[in-house]
Amino acid sequence: MATQTISQSHSTFYPAFVRIAVAVQTLTLFFQAATAGLLLSHHLSVLHAVGARVMYGAAMLYVLAAIVAWRPGGGSPKPILYGTTFLVLASVQVVLGITHTLSLHVPLGVLMFAMSFYQLGRELAARHRVS
Check residues 75 and 17 and name the one with the higher pLDDT.
17
- The whole-model pTM stands at 0.78
Between 78-98 and 45-70, two packed helices, what is the crossing angle to 10 degrees?
160
How high is the pLDDT of residue 7?
Answer: 45
Domain boundaries defined on the chain: 2-130
- Nearest of 3, 33, 43 to residue 117 by alpha carbon: 33
List pLDDT tens digits, range 2-13.
444 444 444 566
Check residues 4 and 34 and name the one with the higher pLDDT.
34
